[in-house]
Structure 1
């Protein structure tokens, strides 16, 4: 390749990453709820970013054009880069790159464009689109206040716990369904997360409060990719409850729809779960839910409601 080709490729990657950042910041500005869990956002970034990167590289030979896929690594810090979703992003990137190639017939490029719209549309409407308004809040029952729900086509039913493996301190595989028959308060956290560490004293205080309650167990799940950092913390601090570690941070976030950590859920005896307040935000009424299995089950089985006020 010529020097000019490298320059165009480098510019294409820079433009691609800039478009990623612009769309992400626009989504934040629009106050879209839980943008890190919405798969259509990185798909939109990919389609737009790689299309314009390809336009810049119209004179670049087709095989060399694939070097632009390096731009996908910009999704790593945004936590959109995980298997198997990354294969969807690669497909969209390749289709977007090929749209600008005149050596490909218009009919074929039209099929590529229709495919991109189909993929984007599927993911766009498969998840709710909720806009936060001024005064946005989440009440004790997990309901959202001061929001505009543009659409939500999901079934209004409780969420069943997925089959998903974690590892304990001894390296043994454990899944949350192994504790079926008990109510569970789960904390997703990491040693590198400042807000997570700030919650630890209150979390341990609540664990102490429930140490004689046989119906409720506490499970802390670390998202540390550096397992040794987690092991060191557990060894030095000896926290109460069951300590587990995720072997795939991004896959765990996607599976449990975690927008950010610390993140807490409660699980009913029969294996359904729902988001719950972090330790420092737990109210007296929520403490009563944790004490009373029937109240906790009612909370978990009650679907989230949306309020515009």
Structure 2
């Protein structure tokens, strides 16, 4: 069983978590009565117009853009404060529409320079580390691989809200398994899975407190070297891969880039950061700009 996040013990927090989960359950139940495309669009709009302003996501997006893209025109910034949470809302609805999501995207073709290398590694039983990010919809990658008989094990951060976390992991596991909770036990299980010649997926774009300071959008961003370290240790193929949302808002291009050559963990991880930055610059609205990726205030105060 997947490890659960630490449970909150005070009554107020538990009640709050139950209320949040109840609201999400009710909203998804209502939207599930609607056709797939309409429910996905409506959840995107709800996230952009209701949740994002209340949760302060618009401010977080503005702060991040001001830090790394200070010359971005105000009209573009304003547009991103709505389009970024819209993409996140769509992803949430797509996840909770699991059966239809799998049916729609299980046969999506893979594109890019890395497709042949991925297929060769799979045929040879070679371990594979696929690296992506909170960009577009990372679950569509897992759905397309599942449709080809390739299960993609994934590392994840358990959510603080236990009630929502249970449903979140159940849905994620339907798309691809096994799921490994971040932490010593989950990491050990993931290494064992990879060593046996399997495939794992890792999202590389979150702030890692003790990560290596690597460049991302021209600023130092603490980044975990673990994906590259695992590839080196187990002679695994490592490549960036993305599920890029098309302009219609419902379909995707799944792009496997050329594998990263094995050199050293720092150089390989910087190449992964560079790959992601290039993709984000092409589709600024598809990356989760709500993440506190850089946290410059912590370095200034240390």
TM-score, normalised relative to structure 2: 0.26
TM-score, normalization: structure 1?
A: 0.26
Instruction: Report 1 or 2 for greater relative contact order, CA contacts < 8 Å, sequence distance ≥ 6.
Output: 2
The structure with the largest helix share of the pair is 2
